[in-house]
Amino acid sequence: MKYLSEFRDYRSAKLLAKKINEITKHNWTIMEICGGQTHSILKYSIDELLPSKISLIHGPGCPVCVTPLEMIDKAIKIASRSDVIFTSFGDMLRVPGSELDLLSVKASGGDVRMVYSPLDAVKIAQANPDKKVVFFAVGFETTAPANGMAVLTARNLGLKNFSILCSHVLVPPAIEALMSGFNSNINGFLAAGHVCTVMGFDEYIPLSEKYKIPIVVTGFEPIDILQGIYKCIYLLESGEAIVDNQYSRVVKKEGNLEAKNIINTVFEITDRKWRGIGLIPKSGYKLKDEFSEFDAEKIFDLGDINVDEPEICIAGEVLQGLKIPLECPAFGKECTPENPLGAPMVSTEGACAAYFHYKKQKVN
């Protein structure tokens, strides 16, 4: 708990909450982008410390949740092949596709393995030259450097049996999409500290200026979040639309230059569909053509996959901050972590999972 307990100190939290109450004169709606922040807010009841004039809404900052249904079905199609070892982070294994999830494929005999790093998948490819090893590369900018490093490592090793199924998404275009139409009632944002650790926060400055909104780069512990909210409210009440950095102990304005260099070497920006939201222009990464030999979508004949979300699931509205999970008629009934209808109930960063674990008693 060294260097952590001070960011969970109850007295400091109460003091910050008091200061937020003192400076809040108007009604404000703030969106936290990251699902990790959502879980901290609900776990530590930060929302209950705030004045009623402040509304916290939850954004599309869960990479598992926004991975499109079609991409899950592509993963399932690849993983079902007898010549494939399909590897993934654990929280992707239970995300429902249109009919199955990856755990169901594993239960039916598919070689589906949970790994803790994409480099683990590279090692599996080395150890199994007779198999095609695929890593499910999802995530925001945070995980892109490690996935890019896996591709570079595989190329340096001369591996011909390793590829990635790439479904990376980017935060700034999502903010642009929200402010330009999906949910323009947002007054300010808490930006994801881990994304900004990699990318810095230069990309947020034009968004702040264009939409006249403060954006505060924020960490994940209770004190981090309360400080981020304080900074955001202070800027809103002062009429200042700038980017501020609460997470300065980790985040630099320019980001991590080495990590960004890996990203720029391996990936290029592409249009990307977001689950429950739709197509957002220039909102994702794809492998550059020079790395096409590691692109699972090009290696495997996947065909054209188009599927619809379950009608009862309101995950798209939750991801856009238009509704909270408690407003879903299936929440805690047809949809639970054991039997999820949508990805936000599965992921450790999903808003529905957060409400299920910390707010379930409020379900009527």
Q: Is residue 214 assigned to a domain?
A: yes
Residues 59, 174: contact at Cβ < 8 Å?
A: yes
Residues 258, 242: contact at Cβ < 8 Å?
A: no
Residues 102, 112: contact at Cβ < 8 Å?
A: yes
- Tens place of pLDDT per residue across the chain (364 aa): 566 788 888 899 999 999 999 999 999 999 999 999 999 999 999 999 999 999 999 998 888 889 988 999 999 999 999 999 999 998 899 888 888 899 999 999 999 999 999 999 999 999 999 999 999 999 999 999 999 999 999 999 999 999 999 999 999 999 999 998 866 789 999 999 999 999 999 999 999 999 999 999 999 999 999 999 999 999 999 999 999 999 999 999 999 999 999 999 999 999 999 987 889 999 999 999 999 999 999 999 777 777 776 778 888 889 888 899 999 999 999 899 888 888 899 888 899 999 999 986 554 4
Q: Is residue 3 assigned to a domain?
A: no
Grouping H, G, I as helix, E, B as strand and the rest as coil, residue 57 is: strand
pTM of the prediction? 0.92
Amino acid identity, position 231: K
Q: Is residue 152 assigned to a domain?
A: yes
Nearest to 283 by CA among 167, 147, 174: 174
Q: How many domains does the chain have?
A: 1
Amino acid identity, position 215: I
**CATH no. for residue 355?**
3.40.50.11740
Joined tokens for residue 66: 């926004």
Joined tokens for residue 354: 């957060």
Q: Is residue 2 assigned to a domain?
A: no
Q: List the domain range (segments joined by +) for residue 218.
A: 11-360
